[in-house]
Amino acid sequence: MTAIELVVLDMAGTTVLDDGVVEQAFQRAAERTGVAERMPWAEALQYVRDTMGMSKIDVFTHLSGGDVAAATAATAAFEGAYSEIVAEQGVAEIPGAAEAIAQMRDAGLKVALTTGFAPVTRDALIDGLGWRGLIDIALSPVDAGRGRPAPDLVLTALLRTQASAVTAVTAVAVIGDTSSDVQSGRRAGAGFVAGVLSGAHDRATLERAGADAVLDDVTALLPTLHERALLGTALARTS
């Protein structure tokens, strides 16, 4: 087995506490733009839940029946609403996430954060948590080409960190709380793909998507890599 060198972590629901913020932001965006008016509200909300982790422009394109202009406006409204809610309520990490990331870095692993949010929202969350110096890179769909479940975010994280000795896609671990996170890792050919139960989707959904393991939360990742002999000899000694 290839030793893991890069960990690609989702944000909302995996490392950043969501607590219903995505749904609240969606409701505000829908009220302001009417993007979901073509279908019953319950159906639209369920679609948002099912597609957690995906690029928001893709989600709103579906909800608008393929109207790209309406989807673009709704995405901007969603990002604005999300920022409003963060300003109103603050931002918090999944308990233990920062310490877990620090331990990964101490063990010699590169750490990338990925999200379906636009860069402005992503950066607001990172700055709110004070994580700038904690991670190696943070990526949004606009940085990679396509959002999840496409493999682009994972592969871009690999390419952007390869100069720092990430040797192959099989040396990448992908972790997220949604089926689209897991599918993205699988499609990229990552060596280890895990789901976490701290966010949107349940164990059965994550397993159906192809997760190698389903963990309670991100704090279980490093011990799991160690138990599965997926850390290099030097790294294993530090874990």
pLDDT tens for each residue of 97-118 = 999 999 999 998 999 999 988 8
User: How far apart are the C-alpha atoms of 121 and 56, rounded to whole Å?
Assistant: 12
* 164 pLDDT tier (thresholds 50, 70, 90): low
Asked if 113 contacts 137 with a C-beta cutoff of 8 angstroms, the reply is yes
In this model, does residue 146 exceed pLDDT 80?
Answer: yes
> Would residue 6 be called left, alpha or beta, if left means φ above 0 and alpha means ψ between -120 and 50 degrees?
beta
* 165 pLDDT tier (thresholds 50, 70, 90): low
In this model, does residue 153 exceed pLDDT 90?
Answer: yes
In this model, does residue 233 exceed pLDDT 60?
Answer: no
Mean pLDDT of 182-208: 93
Question: To which H or E segment does residue 31 belong?
Answer: helix 21-33
The model's pTM is: 0.83
18-62 pLDDT, tens digit each: 878 888 888 898 889 888 888 888 888 888 888 877 778 888 898
What pLDDT does 87 receive? 84
In this model, does residue 7 exceed pLDDT 90?
Answer: yes
Average pLDDT score, the chain: 88
Structure tokens at 158: 């690999």
What pLDDT does 237 receive? 42
